[in-house]
Amino acid sequence: MPAFCGAAVVLLQESQQTTHDIHLAMIFLGIIAVALVALVVGVLISSAFGAKLLRRLNGIAVMVETKTGPIRHDA
């Protein structure tokens, strides 16, 4: 409850400094939001490249297994 009272005091004040602080807080929150969106895009791109790499490695593993299968069974 004291947190809400403190927030109400800050938001209900009409001083120049408080409005400036709220304006700066909104700018910083916008910067954080943009950074988080960029982070999500980076994770999605890297996961797409990772999935592509796993498919390629699986194809190589299947190819090696089919070519070395007769050698393993002869021994």
Digit-coded pLDDT (tens) for 14-34: 677 778 888 899 999 999 999
Q: What is the distance between the alpha carbons of residues 71 and 52, in angstroms, rounded to a whole number?
A: 30
pLDDT in tens, 42-56: 999 999 999 999 999
CB neighbour class for 18 (10 Å; exposed up to 12, middle 13-18, buried from 19): middle
pLDDT of residue 15: 72
Please tell me which residue, 8 or 32, carries the higher pLDDT value: 32
Q: What is the pLDDT of residue 38?
A: 98
